[in-house]
Amino acid sequence: MPIPIQSLFEEEDSVLSNIHRMPNSSDVQKMAKGWPYINVNINEIPDIDYPEVGSKEYKDDLDVVKKSFLRPTCSDDFLKISNEKPFKLFKRYVEKNKLDYDMNQLDKLNSDLANLVLTLKFKYNRPRPNKQMERSGIEFPHKKIEPNNSPSFPSGHSAHAYFNCKMIADKFPDHEMRLRTLAEMIAQSRLDLGKHYPSDISFGKFIGEYCAQKTNDKQLINESYNDDNGGRKLSREVIKHAEFKHNNNNTDTSYLDELCEFIIRSNAIERYTVSVDEALDASKSFLNGLPVKYCTDNKYIRSHLDALDEAARYKYINTPKKICNVHKSMGTDVLERGEAGLLRDYEHYARSTGHQYTHPNNILSDLLEWCGKTKSDDPFLRHIKYECIHPFNDGNGRSGRIILAADLEFDLKSLNDMIGPDYIPMIVSYQDSVAKK
């Protein structure tokens, strides 16, 4: 949860009671250097909330810290070196296994990553566990936890550990499992030392893996995430191309018919009813190029058109940030729980099958893996796997169907065929098959 602007105008004591500390001149200088060799724009990183103090999620987060600190998993020697010189552990591994890898270059990349992580730390400015326990009057020997100067969220050690793991493993895939074990041990050490919450570590893991993926994969180019007119114009050109292609190849239905049907059917799956006339009029205005706000007053129709507009801006929806942008474009007013664009913050499961959706701490990492590993999947299978993650508090089905539309290059006839009477049973069947494994 980024520091709200109004906090800058509050009394200093009030502000400091909710954050770790204000950045000093040294912090500002480091953040100002940026991270030129890490191919990541900070706007690509989804905005997420860490558990709020006093919530059940926070209590669960803190309980893990307490148990880990009192009964550490890692040895004292490992805790010492992983805390003071974590990069040395990877350097030692590379040397021991005689891997031809440029560790000096990797060290320089780590310096850039440190600036990015520090920027994120002060964006969220979460107090460390020991500081929060002291402020909240929680009975625990928190004074035995060695204090840290930087804020808690995300974990820098975890970010660097998973970054180094992926950077090296991409070149030496046979070593991936052992490198990952090393990264996980470093992450666990942050809990054992009482320095981080599990949610800090999960966010750090995502940052490290995402930065490594972007640095290693030169085909992933930074994109603008601004809602500019150029982006909107491009999105309509994409949809007009899909309309032209459909109308030239189909005689049974028009693209207008299919767009109208998609809006009605996608809403009906969620038990929202929209009239055919409203959907048809809005679809016609949309395909004629009108801004969505002039197409309809119906929020359920508007949310689908806005989300289609957003999805069409991207050549591929292949990052967690793009997924969050599509969900955000739907609007909070059509959600029964949560805020549009913000990831789910509670544990959840499918009522019909009992399928356990991804734990909140793992959503970002699972989305990143989904983006990478499902690119060659059948689009509908990719969609089902997305639904099994269930990244948001509400609107998962609707955002998933919009992403499915993008994967199908906005072939809405094929999409409507997929979300017919067998749509829900096929998702249930997949979840049942996963449960049995």
The pLDDT score that the predictor gives to residue 437 is 59
> Mean pLDDT across the chain, nearest whole number?
89
How does DSSP assign 79-93, residue by residue?
A: HHHHHH-HHHHHHHH
List, in order, residues 6 or more apart from 377 with CB less than 8 Å away. Answer: 385
The domain at 5-216 falls in which architecture?
Answer: Orthogonal Bundle (1.10)
Count of residues for the chain? 437
Q: What is the DSSP letter of 343?
A: B
- Biggest CA–CA distance in the chain, Å, is 75
What's the CA gap between 279 and 302, in Å, rounded?
9
Q: What percent of the chain has pLDDT over 70?
A: 91
The highest-confidence range among 130-139, 157-166, 311-320, by mean pLDDT, is 157-166
List the single range of 45-54, 80-89, 177-186, 265-274 with lowest mean pLDDT: 45-54
Q: 355 and 435 in contact (C-beta within 8 Å)?
A: yes
Kindly tell me the burial class for residue 252, based on how many C-beta atoms sit within 10 Å of its own C-beta (0-12, 13-18, 19 or more).
exposed
Measured CA to CA in angstroms, residue 15 lies from 10, 18, 131, 138, 148 at distances of 6, 6, 15, 21, 19
**Residue 13: pLDDT over 60:** no
**What are the residue ranges spanned by the domains of the chain?**
5-216, 229-436
What's the CA gap between 341 and 124, in Å, rounded?
17
Please give the structure tokens belonging to residue 218. 């030169």
The whole-model pTM stands at 0.80
H helices within 138-254, ranges in order? 156-171, 176-192, 198-216, 229-249
**Residue 242: pLDDT over 70:** yes
Q: 229-436 domain in CATH 3.90.1200?
A: no
Q: Which amino acid is at 415?
A: L
Count of Cβ atoms closer than 10 Å to residue 230 Cβ = 10
Q: In the block, which residue shows the tokens 């800090």?
A: 200
Helical axes 320-330 vs 396-407, angle rounded to 10°: 120
pLDDT in tens, 121-134: 999 999 999 999 99
Please give the structure tokens belonging to residue 19. 């954050």
